[in-house]
Amino acid sequence: MSVKYVFVTGGVTSSLGKGIISASLAKLLTARNLRVTIQKFDPYLNVDPGTLNPYEHGECFVTEDGAETDLDLGHYERFLDHYTSKANNVTTGKIYRTVIDKERQGAYLGKTVQIVPHITDEIKRRMLLLGKSGNYDVVITEIGGTVGDMESLPFVEAVRQLQWELPSEDCLVIHLTLVPYLAAAKEIKTKPTQHSVKQLQQNGVQPDVLVCRTEHELSLDVRKKLALFCNVKPGCVIQSIDADTIYQVPLLMRQERLDEIVLEKFGLSDLPQPNMERWEKFVDRLTHPSKIVDIALVGKYVELQDAYKSILESFIHAGAANNCKVKVHPIHSEFINDANVAEKLSGMCGVLVAPGFGERGLEGKISAIKYARENNIPFFGICLGMQMAVVEFARHMAGLPEAVSAEVEANAKIPIIDLMSDQKTTTIKGGTMRLGAYSCELREGSLAYSIYGKKLISERHRHRYELNNDYVAALEAAGMSVTGRNPDTSLAEIVEVRNHPFFIGVQFHPEYKSTPENPQPIFTAFVKAAIKRQEENKNKKEE
């Protein structure tokens, strides 16, 4: 079978959920035993989003092979339960960098280097790359941005060329658009979609399928009208109605027959029906929780939902695994201090201190950690959250009041968190952190060991600083243990406070590997500990 290529473009407005639609289609196709991957083409000039502030672009997702990528790759992995890689996220920056490097090497000697064909050739090469690996039957390519944006034009042009170059049964374009409801007129409006499809057609691309985001059911008449004006078959106009959770979208797309429409175009109509049993069970558990537990998420980007995307999703998976809804209370670390922490964290049955960079909000994180430690509230620190747990313990328990991270004080007297040695000579900021999967050996008898149930684990990383091993003896003597280490470099990966019901800090980012069908074990155990704490609180009140 030849490799099939699906392109997903977006119109009318951004944030319609192209990533979720792409991932939902991929899920349905995978459930029919096809090998599917999804890639994202982002129109910005940064080589990757690693240097972007989360306020700009939400969370930066990290792949196994250490690429810093768009957060949509997180959705792809969570829906597919399959790892993506460096090749799955391409930016305009990457494309231009390749073309300009080639030009310097003389690859185009004598020629003027232009957007068409040189840039578009490089885009097309990358669009087909994963398909050429032999590992996939279907490659879904999501084009970032909105049709009509100047930035995404070369990508749309590359799709136009491929629509001609690939056999028609190997290529399909889905256009995701918005069909708004005007409350005053009590009417659904198709005009924005008509304009957006026209824009796409002006660029030479004819969509095969329209997926219409809508708050209300689309009637047959509306679908027919859209089909007529947009040159699409009536059966190929489908609705994507607002859902309670993104995890329902694959099931809704199944009802709308998105997978069947796609397979029909590819000449693959005779494939078996998708097996979505495990997914349906997960969605059922997710939408019918038997209890609610309150957990604080302490971080400095809490006003922006997308900044901690993978952490929030991990809580959804871990909640469902515990038949429980995790109510995450975002708490801004900049506004916590020792005086108000009891009030800010009142009623919380667990405290997660988030990853981050820089000085802002650090002391607030330390206050929150101290409070959780002293009051036996389950605590989970991730990356910077783990580093601050070490600083807090050193200052208040291990007799090191001047302990600090070198990230805030380069010439600190007690740099208990210090730059990793290979980072000391690094001046380039992009792509130079400790990134991607590394293994970690767990200490038998530790909380971490009981959670994972095995000795050797692997998790993803994204950091420059580490726990300074010079101070481990002092921490151990005072009651904090290093229970996970990298077997090759001896870098400390996990710390635990021994006399505490649940206190764990991890240098890695477990949130990147949690999926609905395989919830991350520390998150699951943390939520379980929070439920226990809630029950204890209830019993105390009743006494």
Nearest C-alpha neighbor of 378 from the set 497, 477, 516: 497
SS3 content of the chain, % helix, strand, coil (to 5): 40, 20, 35
> What is the smallest separation between the CB atom of 322 and ligand GLN, expressed in angstroms?
26
Beta-bridge partners for 36: 138
Question: Residues binding ligand GLN: what is the number (CB under 6 A)?
Answer: 10
> From CA 402, how far away is CA 408, in angstroms rounded?
12
Which of the residues 384 through 423 are near ligand GLN (CB under 6 A)? 384, 407
Q: How far does Cα 131 stand from its chain's mean position?
A: 23
Write down the residue that tokens 């027959």 correspond to: 257
> DSSP 3-state assignment of 6?
strand
> What is the smallest separation between the CB atom of 384 and ligand GLN, expressed in angstroms?
3
**Using CB under 6 A, which of the segments 231-239, 271-279, 303-311, 352-360 binds ligand GLN?**
352-360
Q: Which residues contact 288 (CB under 8 A, 6 or more apart)?
A: none
* Selected binder of ligand GLN within 463, 500, 513, 533 (CB under 6 A): 463
Neighbours of 46 (CB within 10 A): 17
Query: Residue 452 is which amino acid?
Result: Y
> What is the smallest separation between the CB atom of 77 and ligand GLN, expressed in angstroms?
18
> From CA 11, how far away is CA 15, in angstroms rounded?
10
> What is the smallest separation between the CB atom of 435 and ligand GLN, expressed in angstroms?
10
Sheet with strand 403-405: strands edge to edge: 403-405, 414-419, 465-467
**Using CB under 6 A, which of the segments 196-204, 269-277, 333-341, 353-361 binds ligand GLN?**
353-361
**Using CB under 6 A, which of the segments 159-167, 259-267, 320-328, 461-469 binds ligand GLN?**
461-469
Query: Residue 268 is which amino acid?
Result: L
Nearer to ligand GLN, 452 or 465 (CB): 465
Q: State the DSSP code for 315.
A: H
Nearer to ligand GLN, 170 or 418 (CB): 418
Position 511 contacts ligand GLN (CB under 6 A): no
440 is catalytic: no
60 is catalytic: no
Nearest C-alpha neighbor of 67 from the set 90, 85, 92, 94: 85
Neighbours of 25 (CB within 10 A): 28
> Residue 505: enclosing H or E segment and its boundaries?
strand 503-506
E strands within 335-419? Answer: 350-353, 379-382, 403-405, 414-419
Q: State the DSSP code for 118.
A: I
* Selected binder of ligand GLN within 18, 254, 460, 464 (CB under 6 A): 464
Nearer to ligand GLN, 317 or 463 (CB): 463
> What is the smallest separation between the CB atom of 385 and ligand GLN, expressed in angstroms?
7
> What is the smallest separation between the CB atom of 74 and ligand GLN, expressed in angstroms?
15
> What is the smallest separation between the CB atom of 505 and ligand GLN, expressed in angstroms?
11
**Using CB under 6 A, which of the segments 51-59, 194-202, 231-239, 354-362 binds ligand GLN?**
354-362
**Using CB under 6 A, which of the segments 167-175, 209-217, 296-304, 349-357 binds ligand GLN?**
349-357
* Selected binder of ligand GLN within 300, 325, 373, 462 (CB under 6 A): 462
> What is the smallest separation between the CB atom of 494 and ligand GLN, expressed in angstroms?
15
DSSP one-letter string for 120-161: HHHHHHHHHHHHHTTS-SEEEEEEPS-TT-TTTHHHHHHHHH
* Selected binder of ligand GLN within 145, 319, 356, 361 (CB under 6 A): 356
> What is the smallest separation between the CB atom of 433 and ligand GLN, expressed in angstroms?
6
The catalytic residue among 363, 392, 496, 511 is 511
> From CA 368, how far away is CA 360, in angstroms rounded?
15
* Selected binder of ligand GLN within 256, 332, 357, 478 (CB under 6 A): 357
Nearer to ligand GLN, 27 or 463 (CB): 463
Strand pairing class (138-143; 61-62): unpaired
> What is the smallest separation between the CB atom of 456 and ligand GLN, expressed in angstroms?
23
Taking the chain, what is the end-to-end CA distance rounded to the nearest angstrom?
68
Nearer to ligand GLN, 215 or 359 (CB): 359
Question: How long is the chain?
Answer: 543
* Selected binder of ligand GLN within 8, 174, 383, 525 (CB under 6 A): 383
> From CA 27, how far away is CA 20, in angstroms rounded?
10
Q: Where does residue 376 rank: exposed (0-12), middle (13-18), buried (19+ CB within 10 A)?
A: middle
**Using CB under 6 A, which of the segments 146-154, 292-300, 459-467, 492-500 binds ligand GLN?**
459-467
Nearer to ligand GLN, 379 or 465 (CB): 465
**Using CB under 6 A, which of the segments 13-21, 202-210, 363-371, 458-466 binds ligand GLN?**
458-466
The catalytic residue among 171, 212, 383, 440 is 383
Nearer to ligand GLN, 265 or 464 (CB): 464
Q: State the DSSP code for 117.
A: I
Nearer to ligand GLN, 124 or 434 (CB): 434
Nearer to ligand GLN, 356 or 378 (CB): 356
Which of the residues 204 through 233 are near ligand GLN (CB under 6 A)? none
Nearer to ligand GLN, 377 or 383 (CB): 383
Query: Residue 351 is which amino acid?
Result: V
CA distances from 283 to 21, 182, 433, 520 (A): 17, 31, 36, 17
The answer to whether the CB of 175 falls within 8 A of the CB of 11 is yes
511 is catalytic: yes
Active site residues: 383, 509, 511
Residues contributing to the site for ligand GLN (CB under 6 A): 355-357, 383-384, 407, 462-465
